[in-house]
Amino acid sequence: MKRLVLFVVALVFAFCTTAMAAEPVAAPAAAPAEKAAPAKVEKVKKVKKVKKVKKAKKAEEKKVEEAAPAAK
C-alpha cells in the first residue's frame, strides 16, 4: 500500500512539473499573433489609400468629360 501511495505521489509530481514547464512555452506562441495584427492594419490602410486614389481619378475624368463638351 505504501508503494502504491508513493507511486501515485510520484505520478502527480511528474505531471505537475511537466505542466509547469509547458506553460512558459505556450505564452511566447501567442506573441506572433499580436505581431501579425499591425500588418493587417497597414494592409487596410493601403487598400483605403488605393480606393481614395481611384475615386480621385474618377472625379478628374468626370471633370475632363464635362469640360470636353463645353470646348466643342
pLDDT tens, position by position, 1-43:
999 999 999 999 999 888 877 655 555 555 555 555 566 667 7
pLDDT at res. 49 = 83
Instruction: Say how far apart CA 65 and CA 27 lie, in whole Å.
Output: 59
72 pLDDT above the threshold of 80: no
Q: Comparing 29 with 69, which gets the higher pLDDT?
A: 69
Cα separations in angstroms, 11 against 8, 17, 42: 5, 10, 50
Cα separation of 24 and 27, whole Å? 5
- In the chain, what is the straight-line distance between the N-terminal and C-terminal CA atoms, in Å? 108
Q: What is the pLDDT of residue 20?
A: 77
SS3 3: helix
